[in-house]
Amino acid sequence: LFERMPGMLKLIGLLPHQGGEMKAALDEADRIGARCVYGDVEFNQTINELKLSIGTIMANPSQLTSIPPPPSELAGVFSGFFGAGQHNQQQSSDPQQLVETIKTRDRAKQMTRYLNQCFPSIYHVMLAKRDAHMAKMLREHCSSGKVVAVVGMAHVEGIEREWETLDGKQKKPLLN
């Protein structure tokens, strides 16, 4: 299962085909005269930590029985992905189209909140830890005031939150 995970995530559009976003970032950075920096946690580190989190969950499968149902606004998305529950006729069963329906800030926020509620350790590995790292990297590399960031929709809220945290930790310049 773990070896097939990246391929499965690519198939449903949750893991991009490698290179496309980076090329777009490089092109945009050239266009506006900014540096382009890879700011995510190293992929293998994330996958290894994800394997540990999933392994911990699978070692105690009884905890899977206490997972709450998704909120009503996400029910159609989950029924489309997993074929469970009532399937809305207007909701597509095509994985690519389903992924497109969750690519809004509100939907991404709902999805990440639900992931954190159900699987906090996976949320920490896949989102919280990476959001903090990406915000720190963006802060370090945007001294010129220009930075190009290509991030997944699920990371936008967390990176903004971490950015504000970093703002609070930095000393404010003294007025003369």
The burial class, CB within 10 Å (0-12 / 13-18 / 19+), for 54 is middle
pLDDT, one tens digit per residue, over 3-32 is 555 555 555 455 555 567 777 878 888 898
pLDDT, one tens digit per residue, over 31-83 is 988 777 778 999 999 999 999 999 999 999 898 999 998 888 888 777 655 55
pTM to 2 decimal places: 0.72
